[in-house]
Amino acid sequence: MKDYLVIDFQIKPVEPGREILLALLDNIGYDSFEEHARGLKAYILEEDFKEDELKELPIFNGDSFQIDYQIEKLETINWNEEWERNYEPVVIDELLLIKAPFHQISGDFKHTIEIEPKMSFGTGHHHTTRLMSKAMFQMEFTGKKVLDMGTGTGILAILAEQLGAREIDAIDNFEWAVNNTAENAERNACTKIKAEWGDASLLSKRKYQTILANINRNVLLEDMPVYEECLEGGGSILFSGFFEHDFHLIDEKAKSLGLKFVSRIDEERWQCVHYQKP
C-alpha cells in the first residue's frame, strides 16, 4: 500500500496566492487539494515528494506572498467517525443522494447510495465525484460493460450498476479502497461489481463499452493510451480529476488517440470531459 503526505499551506494573502500555488502544485504531481480559510492542503505520494522541488517554485521566491507549510503523513483514520462529525449527505440534482448509515434524510430521490468511507477520499463531497455523477446521468448504461478506474469508495461503480450496467470492473491501486468498494457494493445490494487491486497494467486484452476515469491529470495522460485500447468502437469515456487550465492537455492527448470530444462540464475550476471512440 502506497503512503500519502498532506502538506498544509498557509498563504498570505490567501487570494490570489492560493490559486497560483494550486496551479503550480498541480504541475508537479500533487493529486488532490482541499481549500481552507488560510490556504490549502495538498496531497502527494510520499515517494514522489521532493521538498527541494517545492521550494524552487516561483511563488516561494518573490516578495508578493508569505507561505508557511507543515508536512504530515496521511494516517489511516476512522473516516466514518470524521464524516459523521463533519459532513452532510450529498445531493446531486435531486437525482442522487449519497449518504452514510447514520444520516437521517427524507426526500424523493431516483437513486440513493449508502457508503461507509474508510479514508479521507471518496465521500462524494469532492467536485469531481459530483461532476462524474452528473455526466453519467446523461449517458446510457443499460447492458454495458463498464470500467471504473480509481474507484475509491465505489460510488461511481455503484451508480453504474443502478443505471443498468451489466458488469463493472472497479479498480484502484489502494488496497483499502478495493476492500471498501467491495463492502459498499454489498451494502447497496450490487451484484455486478468486481473490485480489483491494481493499475492500468490489469487492462491488457480487456474491452469495455464505457470507461470512468476520475483520477488526476498525470495518471490520465500516462494511461490514456491503455484506456483507448480497451474502449470498444462507439464507446464512451469520462475523464475527471483535473483543473480547467489542464483541459488542453487532456484534449490534445485524447484527440491524438482518435477520441472524439463530446462535452464537458465544470465546477469550482474542476472539470469532467466526455469523449467517444469512433
pLDDT number for residue 59: 95
pLDDT number for residue 86: 54
Q: Is residue 196 part of a domain?
A: yes
DSSP letter for each residue of 204-243: TT--EEEEEEES-HHHHHHHHHHHHHHEEEEEEEEEEEEE
Is the per-residue pLDDT at 120 higher than 50?
Answer: no
Find cell 497494467 and name the residue.
201
Question: Same domain, yes or no, for 53 and 148?
Answer: no
Q: Is residue 183 part of a domain?
A: yes
Strand order from edge to edge, sheet including 270-276: 193-197, 167-172, 145-149, 208-214, 231-243, 270-276, 260-267
CATH classification of the domain holding 227? 3.40.50.150
Single pTM value for the model: 0.77
Find cell 462524494 and name the residue.
124
Q: Is residue 116 part of a domain?
A: no
pLDDT digits (tens, 9 = 90+) for 177-229: 899 899 999 999 999 999 999 999 999 999 999 999 998 888 899 999 999 99
pLDDT-above-70 percentage for the chain: 91
Contact criterion met (CB below 8 Å) for 102 and 87? no
CB atoms under 10 Å from CB of 83, counted, come to 21
pLDDT digits (tens, 9 = 90+) for 16-39: 999 899 889 988 888 778 888 999
Rounded to a whole number of angstroms, the CA Rg of the chain reads 19
Cell numbers representing residue 13 in the block: 494573502
Q: State CA 228 to chain mean position distance.
A: 19
CATH classification of the domain holding 22? 3.30.70
Angle between helices 155-162 and 175-187 (to 10 degrees): 30
Kindly state the average pLDDT of the residues 94-121.
78
What range defines the domain where residue 142 resides? 124-276
